[in-house]
Chain A
Amino acid sequence: MGVPTLAVWKFASCDGCQLTLLDCEDELLAIASQVKIAHFVEASSAIQPGPYDVSLVEGSITTAADAERIRRVREMSRTLVTIGACATAGGVQALRNFADVREFTSVVYARPDYISALGTSTPIAAHVDVDFELHGCPIDRRQLLEVITALLVGRKPNVPAHSVCFECKQRGNVCVVIAHGTPCLGPVTHAGCGALCPAHHRGCYGCFGPMETPNAGAQVGLLRAAGMDEADVRRAFRTFNTGAPAFIDLSQVTTGPPPGLGPRDIPEG
């Protein structure tokens, strides 16, 4: 077999996830010596035709033309990996899914008739088969390197699907919920960031999307006990992973705080 080829594609997004590849400052040249970077418009004006062994896809589908383009990308790609919250869950721009896109257009543009956009922002998997999804807004550099390395040697990437709570324990963070009553989405959020927010004395805001099996009722009760109202809870789950089914469910749970079981009732010490 020859040198494997890698392609990087962009749909509606901020560029941050593909930038993560260029942010591998210590590994970038080593990667480039192991794979042929055949299509990466942001980094190179030399574009090789497909097919490609691995395609990394950033961004969500928000136009009819992009819905067509992702089908062509799929046809040209042996393995297709989606990277980031836009590609895996529609991104922050999926907030339009709960609104009227025509009204949205008229707020931003004086001539909405010049703009062609779909009423929804949808993840790549809603359009084509996806071989592996890497979560995060943005994705984590170490996880990206793990996925590329695993694909190169032909094994399954080791990317745990447990919650941010595990990472807090591993890192030795003080639990911001228990210690400070800070609302935190960590118990239902996919690991990968290394529990960054709690390490900065802030509650997790869910940018890696839902973990494998979130307990919706318990999580919403916890947020309500920490002082969030129903609208706050809805907003919390409708931000960067707006289109993730588990977060849509969580945004619709109307549970109040569990009587007498809020984190502030846990005895000190």
Chain B
Amino acid sequence: MSHKTDRTLVVRALARVEGEGAMHVKVRGGAVQDVRLEIYEPPRFFEALLRGRRHTEPPDITARICGICPVAYQMSACLAIEAACGIEVSDAVTDLRRLLYCGEWIESHALHIYLLHAPDFLGYASALDLARNGRGTGLVERGLKLKKAGNAIMELVGGRAIHPVNVRVGGFYRAPSKTEVASLAENLRVALDLALDTVTWAAGFEFPDFHHDHEMLALVTPGQYAIDRGTVASTGGLSFGPAEFEDYVIEEQVPHSTALHARLAGRGRYLTGPTARYTLSRQWLSPLARQAADAAGLGADCRNPFRSILVRAVEVVYAVDEALRLIDRYEPPAPCYLEVPPRAAVGHGATEAPRGVLFHRYAIDAAGLITSARIVPPTSQNQASIEDDLRRFVGDRLDLDDQQLTRQCEQAIRNYDPCISCSTHFLDLTVDRG
């Protein structure tokens, strides 16, 4: 039944991803002929609708691109507009932004690890099904507690967990008091244990033997694990600033996707996200996070995309550890924001969203109105690499029956935690064997 040389695999609604897309795999003559990650999330035209808005509005407007990583959008937008207007915020504001961003990493990674990805490794349709199993209840509760610890940071520093209200170009509307920030610590110390347990737990999963050779790209900030800023670096030796991003990264439109495909000029597909960050910045992890990575068997780099769940777990340890460090030395920034008077200029900003590098560019006129905007989200950068992984993954596993192969393909897509709302959203996987 499963060894036909021509077949088509189809999954109409790929579940446990953020957004709407489809996957189509066509096998002809015993070889994979075509793999398409089809994204049919209806376009929302953010780059067009930002024109004519005030230069102070992108943090609020672009947050609405994604309910799961709004802080990433707010941070990249702030950096780009501040760069255009020639404003540099204080170290204290930068630290508070990093604390907020740690909250988003914890919340987003815990969501992906426990609710979206782990059910694949454990053979459940959802975390709720897992929770119904006696042993699973505690696991899901642990994931939800961890997620809540991230949301608690977002709520205190950002004002709310989804689409925070406290972020403004130039800083924050209100700086939380020292006492308020200190109140986060107790809960986070508990979360640190939960995060370490998560790494140990995920290290016990069975990972398919699969390795890729993509060039990996991430921000780096020597001295610390890159989150809220950095220069762009790749495993192929590239190094450039956010302002040069568009010289190196070219976005192309393909007929089967409402998300643009990115590639490196003259080089081709590449990969961004947790495994790229880990590979390029492992030495800047906190000692505790590095120990956890070592104990979990993660080496100097991570080229098995199935092990990305483990890297996310290590990054949660880091984000909790880093949040505790920032809380410990917190002094409310005074002032909590700088006025950012507009000037006619172009500005670029890049930060590490939970799913990878998020680039923004804005052109502003002298009156402070936006004349053009460009946003390159992580998922659109990863589309070509996801397709390449699937092509090779399916090619090596043609002996599996359609049901098994389809299930594993879905799992392979979830390795990348694709956020299709970001790139534009619904995965529909089809494997065509003729």
Contacts and interface: CB of A to CB of B under 8 A. Distances in A.
Interface in B20-66: 20, 41-49, 51, 53-54, 57, 60-61, 64-66
Nearest to A20: B162
Contacts of B144: 25-26, 28-29
B174 interface: yes
A200 B159 contact: yes
Nearest to A92: B64
A208 B183 CA distance: 29
A105 B61 CA distance: 18
Nearest to B62: A92
B145 interface: yes
B67 A42 contact: no
A80 to B, nearest CB: 20
A57 to B, nearest CB: 14
Given A46-B126, A137-B64, A117 B43 contact: yes
B270 interface: no
B165 interface: yes
30 contacts: A12-B41, A12-B42, A14-B64, A15-B68, A18-B67, A19-B67, A19-B162, A23-B161, A23-B162, A29-B131, A29-B140, A37-B126, A41-B13, A43-B115, A44-B125, A45-B410, A66-B42, A92-B49, A93-B49, A96-B48, A107-B48, A109-B43, A111-B253, A114-B253, A115-B43, A196-B159, A200-B159, A235-B54, A239-B60, A239-B61
B109 interface: no
B159 A14 contact: no
B67 A16 contact: yes
B16 interface: yes
A62 interface: yes
Given A108-B48, A111-B253, A200-B165, A47 B174 contact: no
A240 B163 CA distance: 12
A115 B40 CA distance: 9
A88 interface: no
Given A99-B48, A114-B253, A115-B258, A42 B16 contact: yes
A19 B162 CA distance: 9
A196 B165 contact: yes
Contacts of A235: 53-54, 57
Contacts of B16: 41-45
Given A16-B70, A29-B140, A44 B128 contact: yes
A147 B125 CA distance: 27
A110 B42 contact: no
Nearest to A66: B42
A186 B250 CA distance: 43
Interface string B135-165: 0010011001101100100000001111101
A22 interface: yes
| Interface size class, chain A | 35 or more
Contacts of B148: 25-26
Contacts of B258: 115
Nearest to B146: A25
B425 interface: yes
B173 A19 contact: no
Nearest to B125: A46
B66 A37 contact: no
Contacts of A166: none
A138 B163 contact: yes
| Interface size class, chain B | 35 or more
Given A19-B111, A43-B126, A201-B173, 11 more contacts: A10-B20, A14-B70, A22-B115, A29-B131, A32-B131, A43-B128, A47-B15, A101-B45, A117-B42, A200-B173, A239-B57
B421 interface: yes
A202 B64 contact: no
Nearest to A45: B15
A17 interface: yes
A92 B163 CA distance: 13
Contacts of A18: 67
Nearest to A24: B144
Contacts of A202: 165-166, 168, 173-174
Given A92-B61, A104-B49, A25 B151 contact: yes
Nearest to B54: A235
Please give me the 7 A-B residue pairs with the lowest Cβ-Cβ distance, nearest first: A16-B67, A44-B126, A46-B125, A45-B15, A104-B48, A25-B148, A107-B48
A13 interface: yes
A197 B165 contact: yes
Contacts of A16: 64, 66-68, 70, 162-163
Of A22, A108, A117, most B-chain CB atoms within 10 Å: A108
B18 interface: yes
A105 B125 contact: no
A12 B67 CA distance: 12
Contacts of B51: 107
Interface in A131-189: 137-138
